[in-house]
Amino acid sequence: MAELLNIEALSAGYGEAVVIQNVSLSLHEGQTLALLGRNGTGKTTLINTLAGATKQHGGRITLGGVQLHTLPSHERAAAGIGWVPQERNIFKSLTVDENLTAVARPARAGRTAAQWTPARVYEMFPRLAERKGNLGTQLSGGEQQMLAVGRALVLNPSLLLLDEPLEGLAPIIVQELLRALSRITREEGLSAIIVEQHPQAILAISDVAAVLDRGTVVHSGTARGLQEQPALLDKLLGVAR
């Protein structure tokens, strides 16, 4: 597999406050990275930095050969970033269908995977198909999250960024979203970085894992290797037995 993403000595934060320091990671095409760590360790800041929503203090980000760190945030979707932030950022005054069609863009030249369209999103999330005429304000939290994922998919990204996609959702919706994310990454081969507070659930659908602590990478390796060492995982995440 060819390398898709390379993060080299990245430091970033908000204003003059540096939150992540000297972070280096790489991801190959078709891989999913589980990004783990306790609250406040810099996971969201790293995701936001890739999307262009922080102040970068140093380092380089290369995505598919594009120097991502040189681009403003509004140009990063065209470069291949699909971002699902914690706030979801759907247009609540628009219908489900309008949310999808307003941002949809064709796949970039040379893409071999099937193109994501609103129709394919409805096939992935039948709940959205049933509510395609509903406004964003009329959706449940789980449906809003599905719509946020769908909006990122119709950008036809090469890298999907998901910041705590399971947060606050009912267990049945969590399982539905996990099945969809597994299909998107495993069957469709879309690369993804997933930040999540449910490590075992995300490790099960990921290829590689990284753990942040105090803004730096303290562990990186295969997702299965970390999943099979619960004591190490608990230690890295500060979980007391």
Residue 206 pLDDT greater than 90, yes or no: yes
How large is the average pLDDT for residues 93-100?
A: 97
pLDDT of residue 93: 95
Share of the chain above pLDDT 70, in %: 97
Residue 198 confidence class, pLDDT cut points 50, 70, 90: confident
* Whole-number Å distance between alpha carbons of 76 and 52: 7
Whether 188 shows a pLDDT value over 60: the answer reads yes
Q: Against a cut of 0.85, is the pTM above it? A: yes
Give the mean model confidence (pLDDT) for residues 147-156.
97
Mean pLDDT calculated for residue range 144-170: 96
Residue 33: per-residue pLDDT: 98
Q: How many CB atoms lie within 10 A of CB 172?
A: 9
pLDDT at 240 over 60: no
Lowest mean pLDDT segment, chosen from 77-86, 112-121, 210-219: 112-121
Digit-coded pLDDT (tens) for 38-63: 999 999 999 999 999 999 999 999 99
What's the CA gap between 62 and 215, in Å, rounded? Answer: 20
- What is the predicted pLDDT for the residue at 112? 59
State the average pLDDT over residues 95-107: 93
Are 149 and 161 spatial neighbours (Cβ–Cβ below 8 Å)? no
What does the pLDDT read at residue 110? Answer: 60
Give the pLDDT score at 241: 42
Taking only the tens place, the pLDDT of each residue in 113-143 is: 679 999 999 999 999 999 999 999 999 999 9
> Has residue 109 got a pLDDT over 90?
no
CA distances (Å), origin 152, targets 8, 22, 81, 116: 25, 28, 8, 10
Mean pLDDT of the chain: 94
| pLDDT for the residue numbered 235 | 93
Question: Is the alpha carbon torsion for 85, 173, 203, 122 positive or negative?
Answer: negative
Residue among 37, 34, 33 at smallest CA distance from 4 = 33
Residue with the larger pLDDT of the pair 108 and 133: 133
The per-residue pLDDT for 111 is 59
